[in-house]
Structure 1
Amino acid sequence: LADIAIWADKVRRNRKHENRWHYTNVKEGEWTYVISRDCPKRNCVIEKIKEFSSVLTNVELPLKRRKVALKYLVHFVGDVHQPLHLGNLKDRGGGKIRLTYLGKNVTLHYLWDGGMIDWKKGSLLKYAAHLNAQVQDLEKSKWLHFKVNDWADESRSLALKYAYPLENNELSKTYISKGREILDQRMVQAGIRLADLLNQLLKTEN
């Protein structure tokens, strides 16, 4: 699954209409996702997760199409857990907010897309071990009670509470530390929920 996690990002370079599938921009000041307001054409990340879930479970469809649906699901479940993929419509999920980080001019969206993760922990495997060590079984069980709209509302809340509040568009050590903590947890939640989703979708074939 790790090998196909970035597939959806690669193919959208030549499929511009798919760009909007990766996020859901919400009207500024709104705290929850409302389909009629935020995704009336059902072409946002939340509705695409639902759509490709249906494709994956439809055994009447060609296997090739269902495999493609799986690739999208792996990526989109991760996307919906990134707070600024439920960012403000006005600033395109932080894409229009520019900051200086480690001497580089970057966007706020870039930071929350992983730009501020502390990769000094070593290899990806070591980083994964670091994430797993932080999770308690009780937390895992609690997280599985939520569905895709809830995941989106969690991200929206984190965006408004933590991602957007910046003093003079400057990044403090506290902001970066809290941001890393949030991203660590969201990645763990995404992985656990993806595994559970796939187990639920494919259990009828076992």
Structure 2
Amino acid sequence: MKTYKLLPILLAFTFVLSSVNASNPEWGATGHRTIGKIAEGYLTSKAKRKVEELLNGKSLALVSTFGDDIKSDKRYKEFYTWHYINMPFDVKYEDSEKNKDGDLVSGINKCKEVLLDKNASKEDKAFYLKMLVHLMGDLHQPMHVGRSEDKGGNDIQVRWFNDGTNLHSVWDSKMIEHYNMTFTELADNTDKISKEQIKYLQKGSIADWANETQQLAIKVYGSAEVGEKLGYNYVYNNFELVRSQLQVGGIRLAEVLNTIFS
């Protein structure tokens, strides 16, 4: 087994920007809510007012699971492919063959387009705002930019302590559940970073961020072998990356919303 330790946030400065797939609940509810809660702390006053108006006072944390909540409703099946990206590891998003039904990057850009449309109804804007919050979380879960042949790690069977699961689920929720913090506790205990670091993290396009997440996915694939029993040591070696991605996802979600509502 290959292990790696990555310091939160510092990781963002050492990537080579360079994207892929997934399915199933992304980050789980706790992870998505953490990202929403973190984002709220970085919103401008104007963005906060617009968000509160569109969501009728609901928080970003509350609506962050909306994209998964609607999966059981066939009326929304057109949005299913928006949760992930399929492409080879040696290809950047901009050079990849695009899914005709849409993907994570095109889905986020569609949400932005509707929110910027002065003629869009409040109902439509609220829907796409909730989708945007969710998809920005997906964008920072490494296994949602994973390989198509194993469905973003869903087909890589491993053991989590004594229970059978898959690598995708370990990164969606198993490690977060094991850490046993609420989303508010996770959001309140992010690492302290400078204004310069925040500005650095907010640079780039949605495609750039997808390419960045792909580099993390490659590392995640190398962190475990099929059938391996994962436990305390795996959490020790990998949970800092989870925390980092939740923080980065929240900061970038806020940047997207601030730009839209500026």
Q: CA deviation at 1:119?
A: 5.1
> Does residue 213 of structure 2 align to residue 155 of structure 1?
yes
Partner residue, 2:81: 20
Alignment of 1:7-156 (within 5 A): 7-15=66-74, 16-27=77-88, 29-34=89-94, 36-37=96-97, 39-41=98-100, 43-117=102-176, 120=179, 122-131=181-190, 133-156=191-214
Mapping for residues 148-187 of structure 1, pairs under 5 Å: 148-167=206-225, 169-170=227-228, 171=230, 173-187=232-246
SS at match of 1:158: helix
Q: Is the 8 A contact 1:23 1:86 kept in 2?
A: yes
User: Structure 1 CA distance, aligned partners of 2:166 and 2:234?
Assistant: 15
Please state how far the C-alpha of 1:168 moved relative to its aligned partner.
5.1
Q: What are the Cα deviations for residues 85-123 of structure 1, in whole angstroms up to 9, with x where unaligned?
A: 000011010011111002111111111113212654543
Superposed CA RMSD:
2.0
CA distance, structure 1, for counterparts of residue 95 and residue 122 of structure 2: 30
Any conservation in 2 of the 1:12–1:19 contact (CA below 8 Å)? Answer: yes
Structure having greater relative contact order (Cα 8 Å, sep ≥ 6): 2
TM-aligned CA deviation for residue 84 of structure 1:
0.6
2:233 & 2:212 partners in 1: Cα distance? Answer: 21
Which is further off, 77-86 or 116-125? 116-125
Structure 1 gaps of 5+ residues are none
Gap runs ≥5 in structure 2: 1-59
Distance 1:82 1:114 in 2: 11
Question: Shift of residue 202 of structure 1?
Answer: 1.0
CA displacement, residues 5-57 of structure 1 (integer Å, 9 cap, x when unaligned):
00110101123342211011222x425224641x2425111110011100001
Q: Work out whether residues 115 and 129 of structure 2, in 8 Å CA contact, stay in contact via their aligned partners in 1.
A: yes
Contact persistence 2:160–2:231 (CA under 8 A): no
Whether the aligned pair in 2 keeps the contact of 1:87 and 1:93 (CA below 8 Å) is: yes
Which stretch shows the higher mean deviation, 155-164 or 67-76?
Answer: 155-164
More helix by share: 1
Paired residues of 2:83 and 2:103 also in contact (CA < 8 A)? yes
Structure 2 Cα separation of the partners of residues 58 and 168 of structure 1: 47
Q: Distance between the aligned counterparts of 1:33 and 1:53, measured in 2?
A: 18
3-state DSSP of counterpart to 2:151: coil
Which residue identity does 2:86 align to in structure 1? N
The total of aligned residue pairs comes to 200
For the residue of structure 1 that corresponds to 2:93, the secondary structure is coil
Task: State the TM-score, normalizing by the size of structure 2.
Answer: 0.70
Whole-angstrom CA distance in 1 between matches of 2:183 and 2:218: 29
After TM superposition, the score normalised by the length of structure 1 is: 0.88
